[in-house]
């Protein structure tokens, strides 16, 4: 039954078990509301009136049902807020209504009194406006809740507008959170949080595990949420897809195996806590202007991520495990290495791209491409920090140079840069130590700092693991437009088939059992080992600006070959510049061999498929992208161009305006070199 007991202006409303009470478009002022039966408010204004000492309360009891619909207004009649509790085993539904003035603080704290407190399964809270409350909505120990299409605003700025604790299979969707604080999901499992907007200055989502127990937040789906500030992830095995994060992504220690798919992190800051988490995966995300400011982080990329215009902290590791990723315009001042294991063009997997970035690698660390990758227009250098205070760097340093000084602090490795006996000082810089190791100097003994001892130095081979390169291509790839000139070690190491190096300024390049093409590069030198087979096309070695000899700065072992090639192209005209038709003939001054072709409208058709052979089978490049020989390019065989009896004179016959390519080949034999072989290729 319904009882109405008057306390001043308000009444106590009690709906007995088995009874049904409905209010329509009217105003009810109540001291307390207790629901054991069924209470429906349909467009009703319910004013709760209490005192500071005796607060008003709405309570839906075990077995009770309360429905609030059609623009009902649940509010306070005075400045003394009220409590609203929905107990386990009840039924609760609130739709298209308004709630204000709910919740008040007490000491010691009591969560039940802070706002709408829901403990029952299957509650439906849809299309409402929560404004001017302490802690608008708390759901604890309940499953299968629906919280959708609500608006939270102007509530207490120190409280979370929505708090779920120990819940399963909840749906939180299409809500607008405009309060300062974030929404908290504690020990929440198998739930969907999707299409929500978080608009407050500090708003966002916190997914956390049980504070005082073993329960985790796990297997939740966070989909297409617009997070204006922060996502703080403590939970495990959650999927975050779509939407954006504009402030901070923080993956806390122990938040393992979370997956991010298709999220836009543009302009945000990311803390990955890589040393304390495992299995974090990123696919199809956008990191544009994202700041990875955390030191010692490890960024793992799956498929189709875009990392642009970002900055990183110290000792960052990047692992690219899928395909279709782009890293562009980033700055990494202290990289512990980038590994690209995904990407296979032949298998249709796409490729990974690192372009237009500034990357400083620690000594001994590389950009290693086990899958196909493109490295374009970067400046790749070494970290230059002198003696490091970083434990990680010191460990790496000592691994490279395992010889310690017998005196002096700190105890850094002792390395020497010469082969003869002399007194050796302790060289306390990474750079000096690395130069020593790369030069192949063995342990120099125990010489004292500036002392009289003259320890014996023996020449020992440098172990392969100490012959580091800044870029390692193990499965093909394209390296173009980069500046990679390390003081020690190799700029690029090619260990797989089909590498293509184009228009780079590089230090030493190593072909280690691999094959590839170097076109239009400037290289310090090039080495071939273990059956390497490579082509140097229009490539300048060392400081050569002219004919420096056919094998200058080419160092091959007995199993490796290097084929040097130069683009030579001509245009045939009369004295007035009009194009000519006829037969084109070239003669080598060096060998006397002749080569001829047909000229039509001044252009020589390439009579053999050199372009396809050099580029089509090795790197997927086509002749249409190649640049022909230009002014100043080297003509090693002194070819002459003749039309009839009229021949051009001089070594620069083929360095004028050029249109069509003809390759002139020569062979670089194992060092020491034999005289170059060559001549026009057979047709």
**Percent above pLDDT 70 for the chain:** 66
Domain that holds residue 609: 568-673
- The three-state secondary structure class of 391 is helix
pLDDT value for 491: 94
- Answer yes or no: do 148 and 197 share one domain: no
In this model, does residue 681 exceed pLDDT 50?
A: no
Handedness of CA 102, 104, 110, 114 (dihedral sign): positive
Average confidence score pLDDT of the chain: 74
- Answer yes or no: do 165 and 258 share one domain: no
Give a yes or no: residue 636 inside a domain.
yes
Estimate the share of the chain in helix, then strand, then coil, as percent rounded to the nearest 5: 5, 40, 50
Q: Which residue has the higher pLDDT, 546 or 523?
A: 523
Q: Which of 181, 206, 234 is the last residue of a domain?
A: 181
In this model, does residue 643 exceed pLDDT 50?
A: no
Q: Which of 181, 203, 222 is the last residue of a domain?
A: 181
The Cα–Cα gap between 408 and 428 comes to 9
- Answer yes or no: do 101 and 222 share one domain: no
CA end-to-end span of the chain? 106
Question: Residue 627 is encoded by which pair of tokens?
Answer: 């640049």
- Answer yes or no: do 172 and 31 share one domain: yes
In this model, does residue 325 exceed pLDDT 80?
A: yes
Domain count, the chain: 3
- Answer yes or no: do 220 and 157 share one domain: no
pLDDT tens digits for range 134-148: 999 999 999 999 999
Give a yes or no: residue 499 inside a domain.
no
The Cα–Cα gap between 5 and 31 comes to 9
Give a yes or no: residue 255 inside a domain.
yes
- Answer yes or no: do 166 and 260 share one domain: no
Question: Residue 539 is encoded by which pair of tokens?
Answer: 């490539």
In this model, does residue 403 exceed pLDDT 60?
A: no
pLDDT value for 571: 55
Buried b (16+ CB within 10 A) or exposed e, 385-418: beebebeebeebbeebbebebeeeeeebbbbbee
Give a yes or no: residue 405 inside a domain.
no
- The three-state secondary structure class of 464 is helix
Give a yes or no: residue 10 inside a domain.
yes
- The three-state secondary structure class of 252 is coil
Is residue 188 within 8 A of residue 170, CB to CB? The reply is yes
Helices vs. strands in the chain: H and E counts, helices first: 3, 66
Q: Which of 90-99, 125-134, 203-212 has the lowest mean pLDDT?
A: 203-212
Nearest to 115 by CA among 156, 79, 153: 156
pLDDT tens digits for range 594-635: 555 566 665 554 432 222 222 222 222 222 222 223 333 333
- Answer yes or no: do 125 and 259 share one domain: no
Give a yes or no: residue 327 inside a domain.
no
In this model, does residue 552 exceed pLDDT 70?
A: no
In this model, does residue 655 exceed pLDDT 70?
A: no
For residues 65-77, average pLDDT: 98
In this model, does residue 95 exceed pLDDT 60?
A: yes
pLDDT tens digits for range 336-388: 889 998 765 444 445 799 999 999 998 888 999 988 889 999 999 988 643 33
Give a yes or no: residue 459 inside a domain.
no
Q: Which of 152, 181, 210 is the last residue of a domain?
A: 181
Question: CB neighbours (10 Å) of residue 538?
Answer: 24
In this model, does residue 433 exceed pLDDT 90?
A: no
Is residue 295 within 8 A of residue 274, CB to CB? The reply is no
- Answer yes or no: do 170 and 24 share one domain: yes
Give a yes or no: residue 460 inside a domain.
no
Is residue 534 within 8 A of residue 517, CB to CB? The reply is yes
Is residue 270 within 8 A of residue 290, CB to CB? The reply is yes
Is residue 197 within 8 A of residue 177, CB to CB? The reply is yes
- Answer yes or no: do 125 and 193 share one domain: no
Residue whose pair of structure tokens reads 């980033």 in the numeric block: 330
Residue whose pair of structure tokens reads 């009690």 in the numeric block: 14
- Answer yes or no: do 127 and 268 share one domain: no
- Answer yes or no: do 253 and 195 share one domain: yes
Q: Which residue has the higher pLDDT, 505 or 439?
A: 505
Q: Which residue has the higher pLDDT, 304 or 632?
A: 304
- Answer yes or no: do 147 and 214 share one domain: no
Burial class of 666 by CB neighbour count within 10 A (0 to 12, 13 to 18, 19+): buried
C-alpha separations of 574 from 169, 325, 579, 580, 599 in Å: 84, 52, 7, 7, 13
pLDDT tens digits for range 154-177: 999 999 999 999 999 999 999 999
């Amino acid at each position: 039954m319904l009882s109405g007991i008057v306390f001043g202006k308000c009444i106590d409303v009690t709906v007995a078990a088995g009874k049904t009470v409905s209010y329509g478009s009217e105003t009810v002022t109540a001291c307390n509301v207790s629901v054991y039966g069924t209470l429906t408010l349909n467009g009703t204004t319910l004013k709760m009136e209490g005192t500071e000492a005796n607060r008003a309360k709405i309570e839906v009891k075990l077995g009770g049902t309360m429905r609030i619909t059609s623009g009902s207004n649940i509010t306070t009649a005075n400045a003394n807020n009220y409590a609203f509790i929905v107990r386990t085993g009840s039924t609760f539904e609130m739709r298209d209504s308004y709630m204000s003035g709910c919740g008040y603080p007490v000491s010691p704290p009591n969560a039940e009194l802070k706002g709408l407190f829901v403990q029952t399964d299957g509650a439906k809270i849809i299309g409402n406006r929560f404004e001017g409350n302490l802690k608008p909505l708390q759901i604890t120990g309940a499953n299968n809740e629906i919280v959708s299409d609500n608006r939270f605003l102007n509530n207490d700025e120190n409280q979370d507008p929505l708090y779920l604790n120990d819940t399963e299979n909840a749906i939180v969707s299409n809500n607008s959170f405009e309060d300062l604080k974030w929404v908290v999901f504690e020990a929440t499992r198998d739930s969907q949080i999707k299409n929500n907007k978080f608009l407050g200055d500090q708003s966002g989502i916190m997914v956390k595990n049980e504070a005082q127990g073993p329960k985790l937040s796990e297997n939740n789906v966070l989909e297409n949420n617009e997070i204006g500030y922060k996502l703080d992830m403590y939970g495990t095995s959650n999927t975050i897809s779509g939407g954006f994060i504009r402030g901070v992504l923080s993956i806390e220690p122990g938040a393992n195996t979370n997956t991010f798919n298709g999220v836009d992190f543009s302009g945000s800051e990311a803390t990955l806590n890589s040393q304390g988490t495992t299995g974090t995966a990123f696919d199809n995300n956008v990191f544009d202007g994202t700041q990875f400011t955390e030191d010692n982080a490890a960024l793992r990329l799956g498929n189709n991520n875009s990392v642009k215009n970002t900055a990183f902290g110290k000792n960052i590791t990047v692992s690219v495990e899928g395909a279709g990723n782009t890293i562009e315009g980033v700055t990494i001042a202290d990289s512990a290495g980038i590994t690209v294991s995904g990407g296979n063009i032949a298998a249709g997997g796409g490729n990974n791209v690192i372009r237009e970035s500034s990357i400083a690698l620690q000594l001994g660390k590389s950009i290693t491409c086990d899958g196909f990758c493109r490295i374009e227009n970067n400046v790749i250098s070494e970290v230059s920090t002198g003696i490091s205070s970083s434990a990680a760097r010191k460990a790496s340093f000592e691994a490279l140079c395992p010889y310690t000084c017998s005196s002096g602090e700190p105890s850094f490795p002792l390395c020497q840069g010469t082969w003869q006996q002399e007194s050796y000082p302790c060289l306390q810089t990474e750079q000096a130590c690395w130069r020593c190791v790369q030069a192949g100097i063995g342990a120099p003994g125990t010489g004292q700092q500036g002392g009289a001892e003259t320890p014996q130095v023996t020449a020992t081979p440098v172990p392969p693991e100490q012959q580091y390169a800044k870029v390692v291509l193990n499965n093909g790839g394209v390296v173009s437009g980069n500046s990679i000139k390390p003081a020690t070690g190799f700029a690029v190491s090619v260990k797989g088939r089909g590498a293509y190096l184009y228009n780079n300024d590089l230090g030493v390049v190593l072909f280690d059992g691999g094959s590839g093409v170097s076109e239009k590069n400037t290289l310090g030198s090039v080495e071939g080992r273990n059956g390497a087979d490579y082509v140097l096309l229009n490539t300048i070695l060392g400081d050569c600006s002219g004919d420096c000899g056919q094998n200058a700065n080419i160092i091959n072992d007995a199993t490796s070959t290097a084929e040097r090639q130069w683009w030579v192209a001509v245009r045939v005209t009369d004295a007035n510049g009009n194009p000519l038709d006829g037969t084109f003939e070239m003669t080598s001054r060096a060998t006397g061999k002749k080569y001829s072709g047909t000229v039509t409208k001044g252009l020589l058709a390439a009579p053999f498929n050199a372009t396809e052979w050099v580029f089509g089978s090795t790197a997927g490049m086509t002749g249409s992208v190649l640049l022909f020989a230009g002014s100043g390019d080297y003509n090693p065989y002194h070819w002459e161009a003749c039309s009839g009896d009229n021949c051009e004179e001089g070594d620069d016959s083929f360095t004028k305006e050029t249109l069509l390519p003809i390759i002139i080949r020569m062979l670089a034999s194992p060092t020491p070199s034999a005289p170059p072989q060559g001549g026009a290729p057979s047709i």
